[in-house]
């Protein structure tokens, strides 16, 4: 049985005070509504302490959107996972397509971050997904397979419980274009098969695979109804209570 897991990636939105205000409202709404899925929000680094304080006791997980692939040292502008752990953050999104696309993160860099996070007993959401060009060239499966095999290189079977995969087709992010539930489910099924081949059927069956890319209140039910879709990684629609609450209460 896989517990649905819905996450809000705030990206570079909401200041610490805006974020804390909204997170407090979200925590209150979650208490009242009583959601059955796991809920996570990922604000910017500087908003993490205030947001974590605002959701205390609500059961909402607060995560970072990225981290350095080193513990400390001369890496100007970077944030170490030890610093995150020190403020009580134990979950991190890694390999988001915006990190790959705009900041040159390769599968190898992402893998070094995954291994470092796991060594500190952090939970990881590893993002994978193809560009439109790659999809149209028929390379969907080879791209996903490479991102999984390199991204998870040297991750031990016993560590796979700390890994969530987010399938985010790059062409569906922030564009209003969603993969159809069937297309998304097919990609998720491929991801599950690949993880089964790399690890075991058991590990693959327990793996939470989130879909990300223009998830909205109006499409979440159809997406979540699919066998291999276990959650969502939501961008734009995670920034406002009016959008995010109906998404995390989709099953009501």
Is 141 catalytic? The answer is no
The residue among 53 and 134 lying less far from ligand 13P, judged by its C-beta, is: 134
Q: Of 242, 174, 181, 164, which is closest to residue 213 (Cα–Cα)?
A: 174
Q: Pick the catalytic residue from 53, 96, 141, 227.
A: 96
Give the span between the Cα atoms of 4 and 223, in whole angstroms.
12
Residue 3 is classified by DSSP as P
Residue with Cβ nearer ligand 13P (59 or 174): 174
CA dist 28 and 33 (Å) reads 9
- Order of strands across the sheet that contains 5-9: 61-62, 38-42, 5-9, 231-234, 209-212, 163-167, 123-128, 91-94
SS3 content of the chain, % helix, strand, coil (to 5): 50, 15, 40
* Stretch of residues binding ligand 13P (CB under 6 A), selected from 53-61, 78-86, 102-110, 227-235: 227-235
Q: Which of residues 28-67 bind ligand 13P (CB under 6 A)?
A: none
Binding marks (x or -) toward ligand 13P, 71..100, rule CB under 6 A? -------------------------x----
Query: Does residue 70 have an active-site annotation?
Result: no
Which CB, 133 or 202, lies closer to ligand 13P?
Answer: 133
Residue nearest to ligand 13P (CB): 235
Residue 224 binds to ligand 13P (criterion: CB under 6 A): no
Q: Report how far Cα 37 is from the mean position of its chain's Cα atoms.
A: 14
Beta strands in the chain (DSSP E): 5-9, 38-42, 61-62, 91-94, 123-128, 163-167, 209-212, 231-234
Least Cβ distance, residue 216 to ligand 13P (angstroms): 8
Nearer to ligand 13P, 96 or 226 (CB): 96
Among 105, 155, 235, 247, binds ligand 13P (CB under 6 A): 235
Q: Does 247 bind ligand 13P (CB under 6 A)?
A: no
173 binding ligand 13P? (CB under 6 A): yes
Judged by CB under 6 A, how many residues of this single chain contact ligand 13P?
A: 14
Spot the catalytic one: 78, 168, 188, 227. 168
Q: How far is the CB of 172 from ligand 13P (least distance, A)?
A: 6
Q: Is 213 in the site for ligand 13P (CB under 6 A)?
A: yes
Please tell me the total number of residues recorded for the chain in this structure: 252
Q: CA-CA distances (angstroms) from residue 242 to 54, 110, 153? A: 18, 33, 40
Residue 236 near ligand 13P by CB under 6 A: yes
Concatenated DSSP letters for 39-85? EEEE--GGGHHHHHHHHTTS--EE-BS---SSSSSS-TT---HHHHH
φ and ψ of 169, to 5 deg? -65, 125
Instruction: Enumerate binding residues for ligand 13P (CB under 6 A).
Output: 9, 96, 168, 173-174, 212-215, 233-237
Catalytic residues: 96, 168
């Amino acid at each position: 049985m896989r517990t649905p897991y819905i996450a809000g990636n705030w990206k570079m939105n909401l200041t610490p005070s805006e974020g804390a205000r909204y997170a407090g409202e979200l925590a209150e709404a979650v208490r009242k509504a009583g959601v059955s899925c796991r809920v996570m929000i990922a604000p910017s680094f500087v908003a993490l302490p205030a947001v974590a304080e605002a959701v205390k006791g609500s059961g909402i997980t607060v995560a970072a959107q990225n981290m350095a692939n080193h513990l400390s040292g001369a890496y100007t502008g970077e944030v170490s996972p030890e610093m995150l752990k020190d403020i009580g953050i134990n979950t991190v999104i890694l390999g988001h397509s915006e990190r790959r696309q705009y900041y040159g993160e390769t599968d190898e860099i992402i893998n070094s971050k995954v291994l470092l996070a796991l060594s500190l007993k952090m939970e990881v959401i590893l993002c994978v997904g193809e560009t439109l060009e790659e999809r149209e060239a028929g390379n969907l499966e080879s791209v996903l397979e490479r991102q999984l095999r390199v991204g998870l290189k040297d991750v031990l079977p016993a560590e796979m419980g700390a890994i969530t995969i987010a399938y985010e087709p790059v062409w569906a992010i922030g564009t209003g274009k969603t993969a159809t539930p069937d297309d998304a489910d097919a990609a998720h099924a491929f991801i599950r098969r690949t993880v089964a081949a790399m690890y075991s059927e058991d590990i693959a069956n327990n793996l939470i695979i989130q879909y990300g890319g223009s998830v909205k209140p109006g499409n979440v039910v159809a997406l979540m109804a699919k066998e291999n879709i276990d959650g969502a990684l939501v961008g734009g629609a995670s920034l406002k209570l009016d959008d995010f609450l109906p998404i995390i209460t989709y099953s009501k």
